[in-house]
Chain A
Amino acid sequence: MNRAPRPDLLIAYLAAAAVAAHILEAAIPAPGPWFKIGLANMFTLVAFFHLGWSAAALVSLMRVMAGSLLLGTFLSPTFFLSLSGAIGAVLVMGLVPLLPFRVGPVGVSILASLTHMVCQVVVAWWLIIGHDGIFLALPWFLIGSWFTGLLNGLLAYLILTRLAAHQSMNLQW
């Protein structure tokens, strides 16, 4: 294809890809709800750098909704954790233009990933766990989030550069 797809179609593709990635990841056994890589986020990042913040917000929220409906966790505690993390991450992405320096997918991804984890843990503490012990584990979870953020950022970068190569569009961030 030589022409860029319409923005709303691209959002739909990215959201679909994100949901697919989310479900694929859910099939992998993990020691706990905190130990996920969150590959679906790379598509949110692509949307952010390619189409802007509102597109990223849409992709992220659609992924949370559709993903939970398909996995059968809609309105469950997991769903609220997911949602709170996603909302936090999206809000933080909105602050990116305010930064005094330019950031690319890696930086935004790490930032969003850390915020996502903090929001999840706070909501989990508030709604589910109800005792302070969870905060003992938080530093270690955050270190994990830092690395998964890095990974997702790199993957998003790779996708974005290939998108640019194929669509011969001006990609600037």
Chain B
Amino acid sequence: MRGPSRQKRRNLVGSILLGALLYAAFFTGGQGLQNKKRTTTRLLMGTLVSITTWGVEEEQERQGVAAAFAEMARIDALMSRHQPQSPVAQINAAPVGSPFSVSPELVGLLREAWKIQTLSQGAFDPGLGQLIERWGFSGDKPPTLPPTKAAMATWLATFQPGEGIVLEEGSAGEESRIYLTNPATGLDLGGIAKGYAIDRAIFKLKEFGITNALVNAGGDLRGIGHKGEAPWRVGIQHPREKARLVAESQWPNRPDTDVAMVTSGDYERFFIHDNKRYHHILDPKSGYPAQTGLLSVSVQANSATEADGWSTAFFVLGEKQSRKLLPKLTGVEVLFVRQDGSHWKSVNFLGKWLGKP
């Protein structure tokens, strides 16, 4: 085949190739690469919870995410001090000394809380329910006044840090029981509840075969896997200016990545009275909001439960004590943002400081 018909053939091939190239370049570049990441957002646990997955087939994603949200709602109900049927509420409502049967799950959580309490020398305390009640931070309407001196005095006089909650382990086959021994003690696992819910959400996602996901519950997050060729990237909000970031964190770009990060700050729940800021992270020793010269503490750990507990503990302990504690903990990394705008972060903390607040 020579001459004009050969040229015609080449022209046809060329036109098709050109058309295909143009189509591929213009449309695929914009569309195809975007649709693999999906985010679902719900109002849960009193805050916004988002679950983002990458590269998961639509139906599988829908089911996995629904299961994860359902699990988080279940834990929210379990931990609630206000819903009368929740185990925690019932333990708190029972008269001092009368035991209440609990599930192994609750036992495990209490033990985890106690572990952090011991290691932090009491900075983290799962028995602050009554104190929190007096401050009013857990109600729907935020407080505007600190509790009266009298109310604080009676609480301080009665409360015994480190005591007040007793666990009776059931022998084989029997349920364990928990009861309170001090009227000033209230069981409150809020310090690790959100972290635990996040861990369970990830567990459910994995059950549905989802291995690349990011669960973000009101600013506390845990990410597994990555987004194909790119890692999960997270910004840490500025403690004072909501629209700004104070640091940027990039998880490792590997399929086996698993990082949890929880931040405790004096800006999450607070009120200002008489020119003084009263925030919700209470020091069990004084009964008042911890004043340790910090704006926020961000902790990265292997589980969100640990990260949640330690971020509270470190905030109460303050930077110096916390740093002394760090070598004893495995897999825990921390970023302190101090009141003067400076910061300190541990060696393996994943995150790049973006500039002075």
Chain A interfacial positions (CB closer than 8 Å to B) = 92, 95, 97-101, 114-115, 118, 121-122, 125-126, 130-132, 135, 138-139, 142
Contact = CB atoms under 8 A, between A and B. Distances in A.
Interface residues of B, number: 22
B229 A99 contact: no
B10 to A, nearest CB: 5
Contacts, number: 53
A42 to B, nearest CB: 23
B203 to A, nearest CB: 27
Interface in B22-43: 25-26, 29-30, 33-34, 37
Contact of A115 (B13, B25, B227): B25
Given A122-B29, A130-B233, A95 B17 contact: yes
Nearest to B30: A135
B10 A98 contact: yes
Contact of B233 (A92, A101, A118, A131): A131
B93 interface: no
Nearest to B32: A135
Nearest to B7: A100
Contacts of A95: 14, 17-18, 21
A98 B29 contact: no
Interface of B: 8, 10-15, 17-18, 21, 25-26, 29-30, 33-34, 37, 227, 229-231, 233
Nearest to A128: B230
Contacts of B21: 92, 95, 115
The 7 closest A-B pairs by CB, nearest first: A98-B14, A130-B230, A100-B11, A118-B25, A132-B34, A135-B30, A99-B14
A64 B250 CA distance: 31
A14 to B, nearest CB: 26
Given A98-B17, A114-B25, 5 more contacts: A98-B14, A118-B26, A125-B33, A130-B229, A135-B29
6 contacts: A97-B10, A98-B11, A98-B17, A99-B14, A100-B8, A100-B12
A8 B5 CA distance: 34
Contacts of B33: 125, 132, 135
A100 B230 contact: no
Interface centre among B10, B227, B230 (most CB of A within 10 A): B230
A114 B29 CA distance: 13
Nearest to A118: B25
Given A92-B21, A135-B29, A135-B30, A99 B37 contact: no
